[in-house]
Structure 1
Amino acid sequence: MKPSLRLLGTDLDRTLLPNGVQPESPQARPLFRQLCAQAGLTLAYVSGRDKDLVQRAIYSYSLPQPDFVISDVGTNIYDLRNGDWQLLSDWHELIAQDWKGHNHEQLCQLFSPVRALRLQEYSKQNTYKLSYYFSLQDDQEQLDSQLSDLLEQRGVAASLVWSVDEPAAIGLLDVLPRHADKYHALHYLRRLLDLPVESILYAGDSGNDLPLLISSVPSVLVANAHSSVRDKAREMAAIAGHSERLLLARGLGQMNGNYSAGILEGVAHFFPAAAQQVLGHA
């Protein structure tokens, strides 16, 4: 017997939000809202956006109100179950240990000789998140090695999360405490709720979703994801021995697998009982 879906975690931009170049199936978002209204289902938005931008997305795209928001690529976690945005300070105490006493300004200075990096806007930074732009023509592997060496010299435990803003055709880099990415934040939330891994579904589309997409968490990569992300997810999941936990959405019925249609396809694949309640009416 397949487990029940208890926690649905989804990225926002170009996963739930139809703000990429590919078309959205018109019936998908209304069906997603129906899905999230099911009793016993906890909804978490897991995004690189900050709190204000997440709020704007919820309003602009008529999204269901979540129970939790993991924002800023995993550096902040908010509990919304009582109607307000309660920041979970225990999470900050945990991830702060990785910085080894260094602050945001000191790490910016550490990376200042790396000319290929351009610091993103002030609004996209926070205490535990350094965000940069880089050119897609730059050698990402060489940059990764250079930055990792600088961090190792200072004893800083960090994750370098690389992704691409496809509409803007520019590379994005987030430097985070090692335990502050989407993967560790979602597992922190899972432990907080005392849920087994098998009761979770995660949906994503980009490089900063890969740690979850290739893990033991049942996951779906939406069909509009870039082909390079699709290839890398398939390869890395196979190496990790988790191929059966990753679905590459391709379309289901009259839906094309893009954005929320891909999320619903993931629900249908891993949690058919939950999907039947909404897709039975599609």
Structure 2
Amino acid sequence: MPRYDTRCFPFETSETPRARAMATDERILLCTDLDRTLLPNGPAPESPLARPLFHHLVEHEPLLLAYVSGRNRSLIEAAIREWDLPLPDYAVADVGTTIHRPQAGEWQVWEPWWTHIGRAWGRRTAADLAPLFDDFEELAPQAPEHQGRYKLSFHAPADTDHAALLARMQRRLGEQGLRASLVWSVDETRPIGLVDVLPPDADKLGAIRFLMRELGLGPEQLLFAGDSGNDLPVLASEIPAVLVANASDAVREAAEWAAHEAGHDDRLYPARGLSDDLNGNYAAGIIEGLVHYHPRMAEAVRRHLAHLQTSGS
């Protein structure tokens, strides 16, 4: 993959828009899913300039970047290398059950988040809960690298009646006096169903709300971008969100219904494409959502895009 040289961009002094805005708390916390949201690893076409433009915006504008992914830390780092992504300020990994902060070349686990979510399960971890589902024939444990301290993950057939399955799992947990958040999604590239068992509130939405509180930000200073079933709680929440244009029709319909039921129609924006250069898929959709909710960013987008078009970076 090409590497985008942001050093050549003409906004490199202490008086950059990013530096000024960070100092005056005009920050925007940009939280984005990775696979098939920022990463163009789905069947839809990617606008060639979208990812370089995303990279420039993160480097030079007042954006705090958080990757919010079902991937674990090592797989997030692999994606950063493979797709030449900017290093985030925060990484919400394992479907929200772990928060990392990359600092000085090290990825620090944010222990207060583990303390917070671990209370619901007492001293138990995800591994302690696994035997509860041994007799669920439709469930197959995912590989060890996809499990976490507070994330128990299974595969299931994509055509499973997932509502009935999750209800059975909740009953089993309830028999043990346990509460959990159960997340269903489908990896459409295979296709196969994915089931995650998490502590209550230890999903992407809970982690983003925790970040928001810790950073002293309000919902109007956030943007979330997603494409899949495990993004639905955020897409239907009070947090401004963009659904990238390459999301499936099923996810789009589910997100719009859930947002409407929650009274948050105005907090969900389905990307459609801004221009011939930004078709609404993947990074182009994230940028479109940024402009929709934060119109002041429109001029920055035009400026950076013009630079990329003329420089060939």
TM-score, structure 1 normalization = 0.96
C-alpha deviation, 1:171, in angstroms:
0.4
Partners of 2:261 and 2:292 lie apart in 1 by 22
C-alpha deviation, 1:81, in angstroms:
4.2
In the alignment, structure 1 residue 275 sits paired with structure 2 residue 273: no
Figure out how many residues of one structure are paired with residues of the other and give that number: 280
In the alignment, structure 1 residue 122 sits paired with structure 2 residue 135: no
**Alignment partner, residue 264 of structure 1:** 287
**Alignment partner, residue 7 of structure 2:** none
In the alignment, structure 1 residue 184 sits paired with structure 2 residue 173: no
Partners of 1:250 and 1:56 lie apart in 2 by 29
Structure 2 residue matching 1:7: 3-state secondary structure: strand
**Alignment partner, residue 157 of structure 1:** 179
In the alignment, structure 1 residue 202 sits paired with structure 2 residue 228: no
Q: Which amino acid aligns with 1:186?
A: I
Unaligned runs of 5+ in 1: none
Task: Return the match for 2:264 from 242, 248, 257.
Answer: 242
Partners of 1:194 and 1:96 lie apart in 2 by 23
Partners of 2:116 and 2:180 lie apart in 1 by 13
Structure 2 residue matching 1:257: 3-state secondary structure: coil
Structure 2 residue matching 1:25: 3-state secondary structure: coil
Alignment CA distance shift 1:34-1:166 (3 Å):
same
C-alpha deviation, 1:199, in angstroms:
0.5
C-alpha deviation, 1:212, in angstroms:
0.7
Alignment CA distance shift 1:4-1:245 (3 Å):
farther
Q: Which amino acid aligns with 1:64?
A: P
Q: Which amino acid aligns with 2:285?
A: G
In the alignment, structure 1 residue 29 sits paired with structure 2 residue 29: no
**Alignment partner, residue 132 of structure 2:** 110
**Alignment partner, residue 90 of structure 2:** 68
1:75-103 deviations in Å (ceiling 9; x for gaps): 11011244421111111111111213333
CA contact (8 A) 1:48 1:73 kept: yes
Alignment CA distance shift 1:85-1:275 (3 Å):
farther
Partners of 2:128 and 2:102 lie apart in 1 by 33
Partners of 1:281 and 1:46 lie apart in 2 by 25
Task: Return the match for 2:81 from 59, 69, 81.
Answer: 59
Partners of 1:82 and 1:219 lie apart in 2 by 30
Task: Return the match for 1:85 from 95, 99, 107.
Answer: 107
CA contact (8 A) 2:46 2:279 kept: yes
Partners of 1:258 and 1:4 lie apart in 2 by 27
In the alignment, structure 1 residue 141 sits paired with structure 2 residue 159: no
Partners of 1:216 and 1:104 lie apart in 2 by 29
Partners of 2:260 and 2:252 lie apart in 1 by 12
**Alignment partner, residue 3 of structure 2:** none
CA contact (8 A) 1:24 1:259 kept: yes
Partners of 2:111 and 2:304 lie apart in 1 by 42
Alignment CA distance shift 1:134-1:199 (3 Å):
same
C-alpha deviation, 1:281, in angstroms:
4.6
TM-score, structure 2 normalization = 0.87
**Alignment partner, residue 18 of structure 1:** 40
Partners of 1:281 and 1:188 lie apart in 2 by 32
Partners of 2:244 and 2:47 lie apart in 1 by 12
Larger radius of gyration: 2
1:110-159 deviations in Å (ceiling 9; x for gaps): 01111110000011111100010000222111101100101111121211
CA contact (8 A) 1:35 1:275 kept: no
CA contact (8 A) 1:161 1:174 kept: yes
Alignment CA distance shift 1:5-1:271 (3 Å):
farther
Partners of 2:130 and 2:99 lie apart in 1 by 24
Unaligned runs of 5+ in 2: 1-24, 306-313
Partners of 1:274 and 1:19 lie apart in 2 by 27
Task: Return the match for 2:68 from 16, 22, 46.
Answer: 46
C-alpha deviation, 1:24, in angstroms:
0.4
CA contact (8 A) 1:35 1:274 kept: no
C-alpha deviation, 1:74, in angstroms:
0.7
Partners of 1:142 and 1:120 lie apart in 2 by 20
CA contact (8 A) 1:249 1:265 kept: yes
